Amino acid sequence: MNMASIYKELKEYGLLPKKRLGQHFLVDQNILTKIVLTAQIGKEDVVLEVGPGLGEMTHILARHSKKVIAVEIDAKLVAVLREKFSNIANVEIVRGDILKIDFEKFFEQEKGPIKVVANLPYQISTPLLFRFIESRNIFSTLTLMLQREVAERMAASPGGKEYGPLSVFVQSFSDLSIRFFVKPSAFVPPPRVESAVVHIYWKGEPAVSKEDEEWFRRVVKGSLGYRRKTLLNALKHSGLLLPGVEQIIEKIGMDPRRRPETLSINEFVSLAKALRP
């Protein structure tokens, strides 16, 4: 579907892209196909699609997969999608907020892992990524289109200005690759920034165990919350109760005067273990 026909369709349904929901409809067929190929969807796969918009990608996913569960928050769009897909048996349109929806229900309903394919609204991409990490037993792979800047933060290496809590969490639990970038002209209306498509799959052995995850997250956020401070001062200001913190840092062979953003994933893992009350 080209730009003119998308605008025509929006007009027919009385729809306007909603800024507060971050609605930018992806209309470039080449990019849509490329995303589905990146996700490696097969006939046995159940796919969770986040923010299906007018259903352009939903159609392609339905042709390649066993089933598509498309989650949309906008009631008007849900009505349009249900009408459009009323004759396609392997598409389920769910109205809901992806940040609040119960993923376990999908897992029980489909009796197995689900692949995620999503064009994420920019304002919810970071909290949603954390939700996906927490629910990694439910999702086998994630193929996400998000703001280029967020993708670069996810893939950032220690020492760079993009390196932060998101980089550490994503890389602790998964292997990710930025597959390609998408120009604003591929969307209606065009966003102000470039997008990136990222493919993520979980590590067989994550750096952090399930029971240590919450504490690890607090230590990472506490350390990286004060970028201009030394590691010691950042942890002292973190709000965490850490008696003898300087001695503990030195005991594991780390310099308390280091900048927190120079720590590798493994060093954060060692630090969190040593500081655990």
Domains defined for the chain, CATH in brackets: 3-202 (3.40.50.150), 210-275 (1.10.8.100)
What whole-number distance in Å separates Cα of residue 17 and Cα of residue 6? 11
What whole-number distance in Å separates Cα of residue 30 and Cα of residue 21? 25
**Residue-wise pLDDT tens digits, 114-164:** 999 998 887 889 999 999 998 999 999 999 999 999 999 999 999 988 999
Dump the DSSP string for 145-201. EEEHHHHHHHTPPTTSTT-SHHHHHHHHHEEEEEEEEE-GGGEESPPSS-EEEEEEE
pLDDT at residue 16 greater than cutoff 70 = no
**Residue-wise pLDDT tens digits, 159-180:** 988 999 999 999 999 999 999 9
What whole-number distance in Å separates Cα of residue 262 and Cα of residue 236? 18
pLDDT score recorded for residue 241: 86
pLDDT at residue 18 greater than cutoff 90 = no
The reported pTM is: 0.88
pLDDT score recorded for residue 186: 87
Name residue, tokens 């969190």: 272
Q: DSSP character for 260?
A: G
Question: What is the residue type of 208?
Answer: V
CB atoms within 10 A of CB 168: 27
Average pLDDT, the chain: 90
Q: For residue 80, which phi and psi values (nearest 5 degrees)?
A: -65, -45
Q: For residue 141, which phi and psi values (nearest 5 degrees)?
A: -140, 160
- CB-CB contact of 90 with 66 (8 Å): yes
pLDDT at residue 11 greater than cutoff 60 = yes
pLDDT score recorded for residue 207: 87
CA dihedral angle for residue 231, residue 130, residue 136, residue 35, rounded to 10 degrees: -120
As a whole number of angstroms, the longest Cα–Cα distance in the chain is: 68
